[in-house]
Amino acid sequence: MKKECVGMLLAGGEGKRLGLLTKDMAKPGVYFGGKYRIIDFTLSNCANSGIDTVGVLTQYAPLALNRHLGIGQPWDMDRSDGGTSILPPYRVKDGGDWYCGTADAIFQNLHFLDQYNPEFVLVISGDHIYKMNYSAMLDFHKETGAEASISVIEVPWEETSRFGIMNTNNHLAITDFEEKPAIAKNNLASMGIYIFNWSVLRQYLIQDASNPASSHDFGKDIIPAMLEDNRKLFAFPYRGYWKDVGTIQSYWEANMDLLDDDSCLRLDDPHWRIYTVNPNQPPHYIGPEATVRGSLINEGCQVFGNIKRSILFYGVETKMGSCITDSVIMPKVKVGKDVILERAIVKEDTILPDGCVIKPEADEKLIVIDKETSFENFTYVKQL
């Protein structure tokens, strides 16, 4: 039963800033990239990094997420020893409570980790889009003799005030941590990916849980406490694509990033597949009058309209004369004749009536539509 490294994937976040997208779905369960849900990236990273034991901490609106995860089979995590375990909040004889903070979520599952008695614990969150080899980070962690390693990425200097910034010495040892500094001394931002020595983390979690003043957060409480005690913390530099899809704007941008002719996030790398649940759809059909440019289209789509710089999830139907530009269209959406969609995110199962024009009021904005949206207030293309 002993495992060298166990992953703990935080997937309970509500993602308030995603508005309609997380109305009835936890943020990690939101659809992304024409085929996936956001959590698929971190789970696939685990699978591809050889981490076969992952606890998934759920809390907010977990139904779709639970169904998606199933027994972990798509990620090759249907294991008799390890695999994925869904860890929701629970009650016991003397109480029990919701998870109130990222550290608290792990603290409430100490017994889960103790079962495996791991050397190391990888803490990740299911709301970032990136491909990363955690085993390289684990090697780094062992080589440096760190007690905690935090993965960092260089961000543009003008954006440092949006991130948690790690100040390091020349050997990447973390000297100090600043949450959203006004004037930063460094541009290495924390990616919210941690590897801890389990024995050390365990101690800090117990200590943190008994501190009523703590917000029980890794970034705000656990890491600063470890720095205070002069624990050995190292920054693991990551190069490559990484995006926090915390807002509708960044969610849309991350989707659009996939459409570049030379996208920096390659989805078709056979050595680093992103796995997901397969809906068993036939190849998609492009009609005789259709045009498709710079887009991603999934199986089961029937395209008779014009698609430009857009992403179509499975089972989307677009009728003749429809024009979809700069948009993300989720599964089983039906787009009627002559519909015009621009900079729109359309949630699953929405039916867009013929001739409907959907675009944001201002050019730089985005519009989110779901099946409960009333289309009465939208303009319509004049029917000839």
Partner 1 sequence: MTGMMGVVNLDAEYDFLQELTYFRCGAAVPFAGRYRLIDFTLSNMSNAGIQEIAVFTRNKYRSLMDHLGTGAEWDLDRKRGGLFILPPDWNDPSDVSKGDLQHYHNNRDFFSRGNPQYICISGSQFISNISVREAFRHHLQTEADVTLITKTFPVLENEHNHCLKVEHDEQGWVSAFTNDKINPAVFSGMYIIGKKLFLDLVEECISRGKTSLFQDGIKDNLSRLHVQTYHHSGYSSVINSLESYYKHNMRLLDSENYRKLFFTDQLIYTKVKDEPPAKYNSHIEVKNSLIANGCVIKGEVENSILFRGVKVDSGASIKNSIIMQRCHIEEGAVLEDVIIDKDVRVSKNRTLIGAKEQPYAIAKRSSI
| Binding residue (CB under 8 A) for partner 1 from 67, 293, 365, 371 | 293
Least Å from the CB of residue 324 to partner 1: 13
- Residue 282 in contact with partner 1, rule: CB under 8 A: yes
Residues 327 and 344: beta-carbon distance below 8 Å: yes
- Residue 240 in contact with partner 1, rule: CB under 8 A: no
- Residue 380 in contact with partner 1, rule: CB under 8 A: no
- Residue 363 in contact with partner 1, rule: CB under 8 A: no
d(C-alpha 18, C-alpha 370), whole Å: 13
Residues 322 and 337: beta-carbon distance below 8 Å: yes
Q: What are 279's two structure tokens?
A: 């809906």
| Binding residue (CB under 8 A) for partner 1 from 12, 13, 34, 126 | 34
Tell me phi and psi for residue 311, to 5 degrees: -125, 125
- Specify the length of the chain in residues: 384
Using CB under 8 A, count the residues that bind partner 1: 39
For 211, left (φ over 0), alpha (ψ -120 to 50), or beta? beta
- Residue 80 in contact with partner 1, rule: CB under 8 A: no
Q: Given the DSSP bridges, would you call strands 323-325 and 306-308 parallel, antiparallel or unpaired?
A: parallel
- Residue 267 in contact with partner 1, rule: CB under 8 A: yes
Q: What are 255's two structure tokens?
A: 């989707």
| Binding residue (CB under 8 A) for partner 1 from 295, 306, 318, 322 | 295
Place of tokens 């990033």: 257
- Residue 261 in contact with partner 1, rule: CB under 8 A: yes
Least Å from the CB of residue 12 to partner 1: 26
Inter-CA distances, 332 with 22, 46, 279, 296, 300, Å: 18, 29, 11, 15, 9
- Residue 73 in contact with partner 1, rule: CB under 8 A: yes
- Residue number, 95 or 288, with CB nearest to partner 1: 288
The answer for residues whose C-beta is within 8 angstroms of residue 363's C-beta and 6 or more apart is none
- Residue 323 in contact with partner 1, rule: CB under 8 A: no
- Residue 296 in contact with partner 1, rule: CB under 8 A: yes
| Binding residue (CB under 8 A) for partner 1 from 32, 196, 198, 275 | 275
d(C-alpha 218, C-alpha 225), whole Å: 10
Least Å from the CB of residue 164 to partner 1: 31
Binding site for partner 1 (CB under 8 A): 33-35, 73-74, 259, 261, 267-268, 273-276, 278, 280-288, 290-300, 302, 307, 309, 311-312
